[in-house]
Amino acid sequence: MQDLIKIWSLVKKDLTVDLREIYAFASVFLFVLTCVFIVFKAFDQISLQIWVVTYWIILIFVSINAVLKSFKDESSSSRMYFYSILNPLHVIVAKIIYNFIFVYTLSLILWIILVFFSFNPFESIGQFLLILLCASFGFSVVFTFVSALSQSGGNNSTLLSILGMPLIIPILLLSIKLSFANTAMLDDTSLVTDFSLLVGINLLLTGICMLLFSILWKA
Amino acid sequence: MRYLNQKFTTLILTLSVVLLTIQDVAAAPFEDFFRSTGKIYVVVAIIAITFLVIVLYLIRLERKINKLEKLQQHESQTS
Amino acid sequence: MIRQSWWKYLGALLIIYVIIVGLLTPMKPGVYEFTPINTKAGKSFTADIITYNTHYKDSSQLRAWLKIDTSYALLSSTIEIQEVNKLKVTFDIPNYNPSTSDVVIADLVIDEKDEHFMVLPQALYITQDSSQVDEGALAWSLSNIENLSENTDFTFPFRWITEESMRNLFFHVSIWFAMFILLIIGIIYAIKYLLSKDLKWDIYSSSLTHVAIVFGIIGMLTGSFWAKFAWGQFWINDPKLNMSAVALLIYLAYWVLRVSITDQDVRARVSAAYSLFAFAALIPLVFVLPRMMDSMHPGNGGNPAFGKDDLDNTMRMVFYPAIIGFTLLGLWISSLYIRFQLLWESYMIKRSN
The string of pLDDT tens digits covering residues C208-226 is 999 999 999 999 999 888 8
What is the distance between the alpha carbons of residues C227 and C91, in angstroms, rounded to a whole number?
35
Distance (Å, whole) CA B13 – CA B11: 5
Interatomic CA distance for residues C20 and C167, integer angstroms: 11
Which 229-258 residues of chain C touch chain A by CB within 8 A?
246, 249-250, 252-253, 256-257
Domain membership flag for residue C189? yes
Angle at which helices B2-78 and C199-230 cross, to 10°: 150
Best residue in C202, C269, C286 to probe A by mutation, most A CBs within 10 Å? C269
Percent of chain C with pLDDT over 90: 24
Which residue of chain A is at minimal alpha-carbon distance from C286? A170
Low-confidence ranges of chain A (pLDDT < 50): none
In a domain, C151, yes or no: no
**What pLDDT sits at residue C17?**
94
Residues C47 and C15 in one domain: no
Query: pLDDT averaged over chain B?
Result: 77
ipTM confidence: 0.83
Q: What is the dihedral of CA C338, C343, C349, C352, to 10 degrees?
A: -130
**Is C330 among the domain residues?**
yes
Q: Does C274 touch chain A (CB under 8 A)?
A: yes
* Contact in structure between C328 and C14 (CB atoms under 8 Å): yes
Tell whether C132 and C168 lie within a shared domain. no
* Below-50 pLDDT ranges, chain C: 300-309
pLDDT at C306: 37
Q: What is the pLDDT of residue B20?
A: 59
Domain ranges of chain A: 2-218
Burial classification of residue C153, based on how many CB atoms lie within 10 Å of its CB (0-12 exposed, 13-18 middle, 19 or more buried): exposed
Asked whether the predicted pLDDT for residue B63 surpasses 90, the reply is yes
Q: How far is CA B43 from the centre of its chain?
A: 19
- Whether C153 maps to a domain, the answer reads no
The reply to whether residue C340 touches residue B54, judged by beta carbons under 8 angstroms, is no
* HSE-CB of C13 using CA atoms within 13 angstroms: 6
Residue type, C109: V
| Per-residue confidence (pLDDT) for residue C307, from 0 to 100 | 39
C157 within a domain of the structure (yes/no): no
Confirm whether C14 is domain-assigned. yes
The number of beta carbons lying within 10 Å of the beta carbon of residue C260 is 17
Same domain, C17 and C36: no
Minimal Cβ distance to C277: which of A159, A197, A212: A212
Contacts of A170 in chain C (CB under 8 A): 246, 281, 284-285, 289
Q: What is the pLDDT of residue B49?
A: 92
At which of C73, C107, C140 does a domain end?
A: C140
Chain A residues close to C281, C-beta within 8 Å: 142, 167, 170, 201, 205
Please tell me the predicted confidence (pLDDT) of residue C309. Answer: 47
All chains having 3 or more CB pairs closer than 8 angstroms to chain A: C
CB C76 within 8 Å of CB C63: yes
Domain count, chain C: 2
Confidence check: pLDDT of B74 > 50: yes
Residue C288 resides in a domain: yes
Q: pLDDT, tens digit, for every residue of A131-167?
A: 999 999 999 999 988 888 887 777 666 777 788 888 8
Q: Is residue C59 part of a domain?
A: yes
Question: Containing domain of residue C169, as a range?
Answer: 6-21+162-352
Q: How far is C197 from chain A (nearest CA, A)?
A: 10
Please tell me the predicted confidence (pLDDT) of residue C175.
93
